[in-house]
């Protein structure tokens, strides 16, 4: 194999499993260490720079980082990354955060941008462009900003004050918020004096279920996302006693838990798939079951049952799922039919995009599934002035993906309006690599690998939780529990950096490494090398770190998959050929500067023992 080029920022970025998996590439271990040092405001700002909504995401994020977390490979459960983010948000100093918000120039740069839809994607564009002097008009058909975070995510998961605070951090920069204004014509928008338009209108159309009885029982059959919005905006405050939810995703989980709080006594979720194959996150399913709501898997809707023109139940075909060798699923009916009584039925079977307000001759090409043709890197449509992001760009995803899109779209808008190429002139990521060595056996990070199991986040007693849809049901970590959880982080951003010239090939590091991830061997092609390491390296999603040839003709090969970042190799090495170096990777934002808050915080990084 060729020697590894560690100067490529993406090499060590990939070793920081959680950060690499996060769509916005939030520097996770950086903020977890700050929580371990009880520096909550700093931890909050590290997050805010990257993901804009730490308090919201610390409660609601889909957490793609957690399945990737190295802790989950070392033992069974990943670090509770998401809930630690909430700790930073809940314990920050609000005044200090307000003082650290970016400065917005009083003198504007003369460019005006329209953002359509006030969800996380548009708010992120605003957050990145306001400090550059852009004037921004933010349109939304609703009375407040937040998009689906306000209209869909129930308050018992995301309290309104948390949402308001983080939406306001952005709009208080001087965004002109044009709420209660639905945009009905793209051509009319293009005719206005905007220099660029960003479409962040989400995926607002819920799917329906056209089975017998649908039309006749329409009064008591609801489309999940419309129903949740009506509850959130207080157009509805009750539901019948017996409620059936159809669907197995997170929307279904929000619908059933909401129904249980506004009058539903017997609430049942039905899903066509197996329980394991449901789309809802495992923790959403757990919370649902914990609130006494049964989930009936393998139930395929058959018909709505009416008596005297009123919905009284639903019947289902019981089905079985089988999978072929390629993982393709076939669902077959068993012949059994089940009937459930219900006074209301809620359809939570997915969402579609809908752009009835974009005229066909607005210069924006639409492709498959009636989706706009949007570049995956620049977020530009076929009309160079119009950008898309969030769920409007490629279909329904989640908040953190919308944020990631927003940052990239803001870069494109700024490049375009400065006469630069949205493709070729994109800024490189910020990278910082520095030794953490403080003494022979002392590092500027806590290198001990603790054996604690993942801590559980506390919940309200069930009766209290169900008493109102506005009471937050999960309490989060207290500070001591947060500390224990933070200590579980393996500091995957503290990299093992090897200097060939210093190595005397004593093999001391291979002896001490607890996971046997270092081997000195003859070089070979990757497949062969993976097999002949002291501990074979079958996980090809993780790289091998290969040195240049050493004096004996061998190479050092390290399997990045297994490393605990414990620093023992570097402590043992008599010549300091190994060093533990902290690597900070930041996605550069539209202002093309290294994040100032991170830079400030970096100067103050110190070992945990010295922290207050
Ligand atoms: C029930 C439910 C629960 C969810 N829970 C989570 C969760 O826990 N975690 C998570 O990460 N994601 C969750 N999501 C997904 C998440 O909410 C979305 O992926 C995210 O909000 C998309 O952001 P966005 O910026 O693309 O637009 P959205 O948040 O969808 O906002 C778009 C806004 O544009 C407005 N709008 C649309 N058309 C127009 C128009 N023509 N003129 C003016 N305004 C317009 C809409 O009213 C809306 O306010 C959930 C989704 C649903 C349906
Ligand atoms: S152990 Fe820490 S740094 Fe490593 S992947 Fe998990 S949270 Fe991220
Ligand atoms: S830091 Fe060094 S000793 Fe510790 S697991 Fe990684 S390679 Fe092995």
Q: Quick one: pLDDT at residue 326? A: 87
The pLDDT assigned to 593 comes to 54
Joined together, the tokens standing for residue 49 give: 């720079």
410 pocket-lining for ligand 3 (C-beta < 6 Å): no
For the domain that residue 330 is a member of, what is the CATH number?
3.50.50.60
Q: How far is the CA of 199 from the centre of ligand 1 (A)?
A: 12
Which atom of ligand 1 sits closest to the CA of residue 181? 43
Please state the rounded mean pLDDT for residues 220-240: 96
> What residues make up the domain containing 545?
1-20+429-612
Instruction: Give me ligand 3 centre to Cα 610, in Å.
Output: 24
Pairing of strands 437-439, 310-323: unpaired
With a 6 Å cutoff on the Cβ, whether 229 touches ligand 1 is no
pLDDT > 90 fraction of the chain, expressed in percent and rounded? 89
Please, which contacts does 534-543 make with residues 24 or more away whose CB atoms are closer than 8 Å? Answer: 534/510, 535/559, 535/562, 537/561, 537/562, 542/14, 542/15, 543/4, 543/11, 543/14, 543/15
Confidence of residue 112 (pLDDT cuts 50, 70, 90): very high
In terms of domains, do 322 and 366 share one? no
Span 511-515, average pLDDT: 95
Q: Express each pLDDT in 547-602 by its tens digit.
A: 999 999 999 999 999 899 999 999 999 999 999 999 999 999 997 554 444 444 34
Identify whether residues 277 and 328 lie together within a single domain: yes
Is residue 122 domain-shared with residue 246, that is, in the same domain? no
- 389 in the same domain as 265: no
- Please report whether residue 62 resides in a domain: no
pLDDT exceeds 70 at position 119: yes
Average pLDDT, the chain: 93
Residue 241 lies in a domain: yes
Cα gap 430→451, rounded to integer Å: 33
Q: State the Cα–Cα distance between residues 331 and 351, nearest whole angstrom.
A: 22
Cα angle 539, 82, 538 (rounded to 5 degrees) comes to 5
Residue 347 in this model has a pLDDT that exceeds 90: yes
Q: What angle do CA 96, 98, 102 make, to 5 degrees?
A: 115
Do 137 and 195 belong to one domain?
yes
Ranges 23-32, 257-266, 336-345, 430-439: which has the least confidence: 430-439
- ipTM of model: 0.97
- Residue 281 in tokens: 């996150």
Task: Mark which of 350, 373, 406 sits at the end of a domain.
Answer: 350
In a domain, 270, yes or no: yes
Count of structural domains, the chain: 3
Q: Is 399 in the pocket of ligand 1 (CB under 6 A)?
A: yes
Lowest mean pLDDT among 131-135, 186-190, 447-451, 512-516: 447-451
Query: What pLDDT is recorded for position 75?
Result: 85
> Does ligand 3 have an atom closer than 6 angstroms to the CB of 565?
yes
Domain boundary among the residues 292, 322, 350 is at: 350
In the DSSP assignment, the letter for residue 205 is E
* 572 lies in the same domain as 487: yes
**Integer Cα distance of 160 and 166 in angstroms:** 10
Q: In this structure, is residue 121 part of a structural domain?
A: yes
pLDDT of residue 612: 30
Q: Is the pLDDT of residue 611 over 70?
A: no
Confidence of residue 610 (pLDDT cuts 50, 70, 90): very low
Q: Is 590 in the pocket of ligand 3 (CB under 6 A)?
A: no
Indicate whether 225 and 124 sit together in one domain.
no
449 CB less than 6 Å from ligand 3? no
For residue 278, which of 268, 269, 287 has the smallest C-alpha distance?
A: 269
Q: How far apart are CA 296 and CA 316, in angstroms?
A: 10
* pLDDT confidence of residue 600: 41
**What pLDDT shows up at residue 605?**
35
Give the mean pLDDT of 107-115.
97
Average pLDDT for 294-316:
96
Is the predicted pLDDT of residue 603 greater than 70, yes or no? Answer: no
What is the per-residue pLDDT for 447?
Answer: 82
Mean pLDDT value across residues 466-484: 97
Mean pLDDT of 427-444: 87
Q: How many CA atoms lie within 13 A of 96 on its CB side?
A: 13
Mean pLDDT of the 329-356 span: 94
User: For 506-567, where are the alpha helices, taking DSSP H only?
Assistant: 508-512, 526-532
Q: Give the number of the atom of ligand 2 that is nearest the alpha carbon of residue 78.
A: 6
Question: Does residue 444 or residue 604 have the better pLDDT?
Answer: 444
Structure token pair of residue 135 = 């004037």
Q: Percent of the chain, pLDDT > 70?
A: 97
The single residue listed with the structure tokens 């199991």 is 453
Pairing of strands 555-559, 518-521: antiparallel
HEC profile for 14-57? HHCHHHHHCCCCCCHHHHHHHHHCCCHHHHHHHHHHHHCCHHHH
Domain identity same for 465 and 605 = yes
Length, in residues, of the chain: 612
Instruction: Give 13 Cα–ligand 2 centroid separation in angstroms.
Output: 12
For the CA of 82, the nearest ligand: 2
Rg for the chain, CA atoms, rounded: 26
Residue 389: which pLDDT band, with cuts at 50, 70 and 90? very high
In the prediction, which pLDDT does 592 show? 59
Say how far apart CA 105 and CA 351 lie, in whole Å: 40
Task: With residue 224 as reference, give the H or E element that holds it.
Answer: helix 224-232
CA of 489, closest atom in ligand 2 = 2
Q: How far is Cα 14 from Cα 3, in angstroms, rounded to an integer?
A: 17
Indicate whether 556 and 569 sit together in one domain.
Answer: yes
| Tokens of residue 163, six digits | 């949402």
Looking at residue 607, its pLDDT comes to: 34
**Mean pLDDT value of segment 263-290:** 96
Whether 513 is in the pocket of ligand 3, judged by its Cβ within 6 Å, is yes
pLDDT at 604: 34
Which pLDDT belongs to residue 186? 98
Kindly give the residue spans of alpha helices, DSSP state H, lying in 361-441: 391-394, 399-417
The answer to whether residue 423 sits within a structural domain is no
Q: Collapsing DSSP states into helix, strand and coil, what is residue 555?
A: strand
Check whether residue 301 and residue 342 sit in a common domain: yes
Residue 281 has pLDDT above 60, yes or no: yes
Closest CA to 269 of 214, 346, 350, 157: 346
Cα of 123 from ligand 3 centre, angstroms: 41
From atom 12 of ligand 1, which residue's Cα is the shortest distance away? 398
What residues line ligand 2, using a CB cutoff of 6 Å? Answer: 16-18, 28-29, 69-71, 78-79, 81, 489-492
């Amino acid at each position: 194999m060729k020697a590894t080029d560690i100067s490529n920022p993406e090499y060590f970025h990939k070793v920081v499993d959680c950060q690499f998996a996060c769509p916005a590439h939030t520097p996770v271990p950086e903020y977890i260490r700050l929580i371990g040092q009880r520096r909550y405001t700093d931890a909050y700002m590290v997050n805010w720079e990257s993901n804009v909504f730490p308090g919201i995401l610390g409660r609601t994020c889909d957490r793609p980082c957690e399945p990737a977390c190295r802790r989950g490979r070392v033992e069974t459960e990943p670090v509770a990354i998401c809930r630690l983010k909430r700790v930073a948000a809940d314990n920050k100093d609000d005044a200090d955060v307000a003082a650290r918000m970016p400065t917005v120039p009083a003198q504007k740069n003369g460019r005006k941008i329209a953002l359509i839809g006030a969800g996380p994607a548009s708010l992120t564009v605003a957050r990145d462009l306001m400090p550059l002097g852009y004037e921004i008009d933010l349109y939304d058909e609703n009375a407040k900003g937040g998009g689906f975070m306000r209209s869909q995510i129930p308050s018992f998961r995301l309290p309104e004050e948390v949402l308001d605070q983080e939406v306001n951090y952005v709009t208080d920069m001087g965004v002109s918020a044009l709420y209660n204004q639905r945009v009905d014509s793209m051509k009319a928008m293009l005719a206005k004096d905007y220099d660029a338009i960003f479409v962040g209108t989400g995926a607002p159309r819920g799917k329906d279920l056209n089975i017998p009885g649908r039309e006749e029982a329409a009064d008591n059959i609801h489309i999940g996302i419309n129903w949740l919005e009506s509850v959130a905006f207080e157009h509805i405050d009750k539901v019948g006693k017996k409620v059936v939810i159809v669907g197995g995703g997170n929307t279904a989980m929000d619908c059933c838990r909401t129904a249980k709080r506004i009058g539903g006594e017997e609430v049942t979720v039905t899903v066509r798939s197996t329980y394991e194959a449901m789309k809802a996150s495992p923790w959403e399913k757990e919370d649902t079951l914990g609130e006494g709501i049964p989930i009936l898997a393998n139930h395929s809707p058959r018909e709505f049952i009416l008596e005297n023109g009123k919905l009284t139940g639903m019947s289902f075909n019981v089905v079985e799922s089988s999978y072929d060798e390629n993982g393709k699923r076939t669902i077959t009916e068993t012949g059994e039919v089940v009937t459930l009584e219900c006074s209301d039925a809620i359809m939570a079977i997915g969402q579609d995009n809908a752009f009835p307000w974009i005229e066909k001759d607005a210069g924006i090409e639409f492709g498959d599934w009636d989706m706009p043709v949007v570049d995956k890197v620049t977020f530009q449509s076929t009309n160079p002035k119009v950008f898309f992001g969030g769920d409007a760009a490629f279909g329904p995803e989640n908040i953190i993906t919308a944020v990631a899109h927003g940052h990239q779209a803001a870069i494109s808008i700024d490049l375009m309006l400065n006469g630069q190429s949205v493709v070729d002139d994109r800024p490189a990521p910020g990278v910082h690599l520095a030794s953490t060595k403080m003494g022979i056996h002392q590092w500027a990070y806590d290198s001990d690998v603790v054996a604690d199991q993942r801590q559980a986040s506390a919940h309200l007693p069930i009766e209290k939780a169900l008493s109102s849809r506005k009471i937050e049901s999960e309490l989060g970590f207290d500070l001591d529990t947060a500390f224990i959880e933070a200590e579980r982080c393996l500091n995957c951003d503290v990299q093992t950096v090897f200097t060939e010239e210093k190595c005397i090939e004593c093999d001391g590091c291979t002896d001490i490494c607890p996971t046997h991830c270092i081997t000195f061997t003859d070089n070979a092609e990757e497949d062969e090398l993976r097999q002949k390491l002291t501990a074979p390296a079958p996980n090809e999603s993780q790289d091998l770190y290969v040195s240049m040839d050493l004096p004996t003709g061998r190479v050092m090969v390290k399997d990045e998959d297994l490393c605990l970042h414990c620093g023992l190799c570097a402590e043992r090495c008599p010549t300091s050929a190994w060093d533990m170096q902290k690597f900070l990777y930041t996605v550069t934002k539209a202002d093309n500067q290294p994040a100032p808050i991170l830079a400030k915080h970096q100067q103050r990084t110190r070992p945990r023992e010295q922290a207050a």
